[in-house]
Structure 1
């Protein structure tokens, strides 16, 4: 099914561009499942919030009221909490919900015309619960097993995409915090994981690297043009990653020199808050 293949690509696009979830769910509803609307709800246990991550077909007011507190009446989401990760099913039939969850029926199902909801548990752990809901109206037919199977196929892609989305949100928040703190200090910040791959590079750090011929980023890794200085930097990173507490507490620094620059690019290496990563703080006098 070409539309399903296209949908997988759109899912990964939404991982980096949250506004793209609307297009993901439009394809899922209109081209694949003949549904009226769909949404991903996230219950963040650490923040104590339950919000709509992205949706298609829901009235704007429904999204606003849900995020402002109506979410606590979401009976479908509570049912989904009992379902293992990766399992899709039809979780709501309005004929049953009218009896078993009358408040939910009156406050959410009836006003928004949600007659049937097929759900997929994407994440369910101590940190958070994320679930997909696909909706049909009261006048429509329930979801069939083949349609539930299609939703099931999306599980690994949705899980990866939301994991990427959450990591990018964390990095964006960190970048904003760092930019606020570092804007007055003229420090560049780079985070490198234990495999040498860059996880984060602030705008200030990128500007410093663009202006200093001795250091570049190549294939997601930091490269020092001079081999001896490159080796020295890798040794500092390894030392910062070491499991010996006394060594991890030390801040390590070096100056990267280049013949075209009068002053070295100062690099301080320190363990990052993220396990298995280090921060490089750059200063170009």
Structure 2
């Protein structure tokens, strides 16, 4: 991986906590892949506060059309077929010039409103999220007279997809903070992600319950006598480097700001740390500037899947018990094991899932599993 690729990946995490940086990130990707235009969009019909749209070099006419909810839904539904045999995290490449052939079709509407004004034909895109009412994608475009995308470029886009998906998960969690208008600590205490806040002396002054458990259950991360983070000798210098770069923030000219670090111990615990300046977290700006300087997000690579209860209740009206059964199913429990775990009969479990299928409009356990995978609130782990 060359320096430009490292720079692009680093900028993705900056934009994850400051959405104003996405246009710069997309421009870098367009230039690196010799593309003409690009669009990065996430749509969730059940959670509009999560929606966003960023682009590069797309004319106002096409961009205005794409901001139309109807066009965005057409885009989501129209291109779902591209991913049927691929799945989230995969890349598709195609020539869309044939979209303009049938005036009665959704393809034609999309072509006339979005593709034709932009003068593009070849696309390559990485799918970042997918569901019956949501999707997220980064699409790159080239003009009809340009060469199609090559495998090297598609491999790079797939690699970026892992980091973009993690950035979307960070964005979703903070959009929930804004949507619910809850106090910062109330939200952090209940997030399914470990969070540590450090002051201007790099001393820990807040650690949510999940982060506390992660630190107590392994030896990847600990505190020294000054209440500063410490890890094994081999990783300590890198951890210190990331923390100090986040502390310097924007004053660190031409330097990385924060970053990502993977830690492991002899007992098999593996933690992923994402380190960012608190100045980039919009929901922390009301806090004392000296009290919170750095946020450290912790995820356990071996942790079970956790679902967003608030989202599932809002989107599908699942009861507390139905939510519990869904989470057990997602984590590999068989129906018989779910019945034993919950202290209910197998017949009751089947009745619960019948109701869950109706509420979620799923026709099979596979469909339900696919939907639930899109409702997890753990970050994606990046090796």
- Please tell me the TM-score bracket, short chain as reference: 0.5 to 0.7
Kept after mapping to 2: 8 A contact 1:39/1:52:
no
Residue 147 of structure 1 corresponds to 153
Two-structure CA RMSD over aligned residues (Å): 3.8
Please list the CA deviations of residues 17-47 of structure 1 after superposition, one character each: whole Å capped at 9, or x if unmatched.
Answer: 11111111111111x1000111122220313
Residue 114 of structure 1 corresponds to 120
Q: Post-superposition shift, 1:194? A: 2.8
Matches within 5 A, 1:30-179: 30=31, 32-47=32-47, 52-69=52-69, 70-74=71-75, 77-80=79-82, 82=84, 83-91=86-94, 93-99=95-101, 101-125=107-131, 128-174=134-180, 177-178=181-182
CA distance in 2, matches of 1:47, 1:12: 22
Q: Post-superposition shift, 1:169? A: 1.7
- Match of residue 210, structure 2, among 187, 195, 216: 195
CA distance in 2, matches of 1:120, 1:29: 14
Kept after mapping to 2: 8 A contact 1:42/1:52:
yes
Change (3 A) 1:37 1:102: same
Secondary structure of the residue aligned to 1:154 is: helix
Residue 28 of structure 1 corresponds to 29
Secondary structure of the residue aligned to 2:210 is: coil
Change (3 A) 1:116 1:81: same
Q: Post-superposition shift, 1:122? A: 0.8
CA distance in 1, matches of 2:156, 2:90: 11
Residue 247 of structure 1 corresponds to none
Query: Are positions 1:4 and 2:5 aligned together?
Result: yes
Q: Post-superposition shift, 1:118? A: 0.5
CA distance in 1, matches of 2:132, 2:43: 11
Kept after mapping to 2: 8 A contact 1:94/1:115:
yes
Change (3 A) 1:72 1:203: closer
| Larger Rg, first or second structure (1 or 2) | 1
CA distance in 2, matches of 1:133, 1:26: 12
CA distance in 2, matches of 1:219, 1:140: 45
CA distance in 2, matches of 1:53, 1:173: 18
Kept after mapping to 2: 8 A contact 1:88/1:120:
yes
Secondary structure of the residue aligned to 2:178 is: helix
Give the number of equivalent residue pairs: 205
Q: Post-superposition shift, 1:126? A: 5.9
Q: Which runs of 5+ in 1 are unaligned?
A: 180-186, 211-215, 222-274, 276-285
Q: Post-superposition shift, 1:178? A: 4.1
Kept after mapping to 2: 8 A contact 1:116/1:136:
yes
CA distance in 1, matches of 2:294, 2:12: 25
CA distance in 1, matches of 2:73, 2:150: 28
> Scaled by the length of structure 2, what TM-score is found?
0.46
CA distance in 1, matches of 2:67, 2:58: 13
Kept after mapping to 2: 8 A contact 1:36/1:136:
yes
Q: Post-superposition shift, 1:162? A: 0.9
Q: Post-superposition shift, 1:167? A: 1.2
Which one has a larger percent strand, Structure 1 or Structure 2? Answer: 1
